Structure 1
Amino acid sequence: MSPISSDDSRTAPQLNPEVVEFENGRGRVLVSRLYPAMISGLVIGSIGFFAISVDEPWLFPSLGPTVFIQAVTPSASGARFWNTIVGHAIGLVAGFVALFAFAAQNTPAVMSAEILSIHRVAATALAVSVTVGLQSVLNAQHPPAAATTMLVTLGGLKPNWSTVYIVSIGVLLAAAFGVIVRICHPAILRERQW
């Protein structure tokens, strides 16, 4: 007997339930595929263009996964405004504290120097641990914040007040756009109709 069943319900890929039907019945749009992709690019582009217009580097790598969570999983706790702001703040502070605790700020930045020191490894391990722990305690889980803490401890972001300013404004913009993304998300709108 063939391992492939003729029962389509077991072998056919199932469509995501987040489907919106137009009232005129002309077609269906897979919201779970189109909205997140379009809105993610729009949000990142908006932050970037706004940053360019004021000559500030408010766009940094951790914002990509932040926007991803907000657009793809809008109901997840990590997509909330609180989680975004507090999560990244914890990551940034934990990164700075761990960096100075192990005197890693004086070692070469990992990506530019292509050298990984024991100081940076120790600082990174501590910072990620503290980030995860404090996020759990404060109910502010936001996985992209672990990337923020690693950007600090591995040397991608300099340990200075300018970095605090850049990260704070970038995160604030992403969190604010995230509120709009979540409110307007078709899956959320559909849930409210029920």
Structure 2
Amino acid sequence: MPDASRSTFAAFDLVVGAVGLAVIGLLAFAFDQPLLFPSLGPTLMLTLDSPNLPSARPVDALVGHYVGIVAGAASLAVTGLPDAPSVLREGVTAPRIAAAALSLGLTAALLRLLRRRHPPAGATTLIISLGLMTTLADLAAIAVSVAILVAICVVIDRLRPERLMPQ
């Protein structure tokens, strides 16, 4: 890639990456909801860095994160941890290890069965199974935030410099 193209793409990534995440941050602030969480970053990075990979497709992102939500919540229920303090407050315990391992295994298996690929879903399921976001309101916020981010990623893909540059 020539230096001019590299600079163009870097500028594009800087602007749309920052704006994309800032939109979600502003919505989180405006509605006082936990819409900003770590696994959004890898999803946005996939869109910016590797838009042609199957794991960057909007449907894979939606299904991946939603499976991660369900697997994380199910692992908490199975291990008796839905209302337990997070791993940050309580430390690592045997039930927490089981919840984390189960949630990641379930997420990976279900995504394989559904023929979807989205590695950032592994972070989403761990955020839940480690007790960082566990309430129904938290899970709904994750689901809404992912939908908003996927919509932003679709717009980003339409604005990509290679689509706008004459061939």
Q: Normalising by the residue count of structure 2, what TM-score does the alignment of the two structures yield?
A: 0.89
**Percent identity of paired positions between Structure 1 and Structure 2:** 29
The separation in 2 between residues aligned to 1:87 and 1:188, in whole angstroms, is: 27
Greater RCO, CA 8 A, separation 6+: 2
Given that 1:102 and 1:119 are in contact with CA atoms closer than 8 Å, whether structure 2 keeps it comes out as yes
Name the SS for the 1:105 alignment partner.
coil
| Equivalent runs, 1:47-58 vs 2, <5 Å | 47-58=24-35
Unaligned runs of at least 5 residues, structure 1? 1-16, 20-26
Task: Tell me, yes or no, if the aligned pair for 1:74 and 1:188 is still in contact at 8 Å.
Answer: no
Higher fraction of helix = 2
Match in the other structure for 1:5: none
The question of 1:116 aligning with 2:92 is answered yes
| Correspondence for 1:177 among 139, 145, 152 | 152
Equivalent residue for 1:134, pick from 101, 105, 110: 110
Q: Which amino acid aligns with 1:38?
A: V
In structure 2, how many angstroms separate the alpha carbons of the residues matched to 1:105 and 1:50?
27
In structure 2, the residue matched to 1:186 is 161
Residues 107 and 120 of structure 1 are in contact (CA less than 8 Å); yes or no, is this contact kept in structure 2? no
Aligned pair in 2 of structure 1 residues 118, 149: CA closer, same or farther (>3 Å)? Answer: same
Aligned-residue offset at 1:106: 4.6
Is this contact kept in 1: 2:34–2:138, CA < 8 A? no
Where does structure 2 lack aligned partners over 5 or more consecutive residues? none
Q: Does 1:69 align with 2:46?
A: yes
- Residue 187 of structure 1 and its aligned partner are, at CA, apart by 3.6
Post-superposition CA distance 1:110-141 (Å, at most 9, x none): 1234x101101111111101101111221221
Secondary structure of the equivalent of 1:28? helix
Say if 2:32 is the partner of 1:84: no
Q: State the 1:152 CA deviation.
A: 0.6
Higher radius of gyration, 1 or 2: 1
Distance 2:132 2:101 in 1: 16
Equivalent of 1:167 in 142, 146, 149? 142
Size of the aligned set, in residue pairs, is: 166
Does the 8 A contact of 1:83 with 1:142 survive in 2?
yes
CA–CA distance in structure 2, aligned partners of residues 139 and 55 of structure 1: 35
Paired amino acid for 1:148: T
**1:57 Cα deviation from its structure 2 partner:** 2.4
User: Alpha-carbon deviations, 1:60-111, whole Å to 9, x = none?
Assistant: 1111111111111111112111011110000000001111111133543112
2:128 aligned to which of 148, 152, 168: 152
Equivalents in 1 of 2:129, 2:43: separation in Å?
19
Question: In structure 2, how many angstroms separate the alpha carbons of the residues matched to 1:111 and 1:131?
Answer: 22
User: Using a 3 Å threshold, how does the CA distance of structure 1 residues 121 and 43 change in structure 2: closer, same or farther?
Assistant: same
